[in-house]
Amino acid sequence: MAESTCDLYDRFEGTARVADAGFRDFGARRRFSGAAVTVKCFEDNSRVKELLATPGQGKVLVVDGGGSLRAALMGDLIAQSAVKNGWEGVVIHGAVRDCAVLATLDLGIKALDTIPRKTVRNGEGQAGLTLTFAGLRVAPGDRVFADEDGILVLDPTEFGEG
């Protein structure tokens, strides 16, 4: 990611979508970008685990967890799977766990907070939806950019990719 989210915002001010403040960095990679892969789930990380076990080069998994801080949608094992499969990063509108290990992984991770409680896995959740959370709209294939200043999303055609 060459340009910062601040520079991208200045360049695409009329069309850039920016997430509300409140997301924290948890992975060793502080700057990441890629094409959005989306999943919506609530306190069930079944789809998150499935998707991060697939090839993720050039992709960012964007998870609408409803902002729940009661259970972690990703921990060290799922994050290690994401690294193994080449994912650029993960944005979670919810919580993570195992933050000491996450901090050592070459993966961008933005989430709201941490909690030790894991989720249940009942096979719930939907992938490939347009998500709306934290003042942000993210459709599959949108370009997601994240760094120390926040999260910014552009339509791929605006960024010259569509």
- Domain boundaries, given as residue ranges, for the chain: 5-154
**What is the assigned CATH class of domain 5-154?**
alpha beta
Confidence (pTM): 0.96
Per-residue pLDDT tens digits for 65-121: 999 999 999 999 999 999 999 999 999 999 999 999 999 999 999 999 999 999 988
The span from the CA of 71 to the CA of 128, in Å, is: 22
Per-residue pLDDT tens digits for 36-79: 999 999 999 999 999 999 999 999 999 999 999 999 999 999 99
End-to-end CA distance of the chain: 18
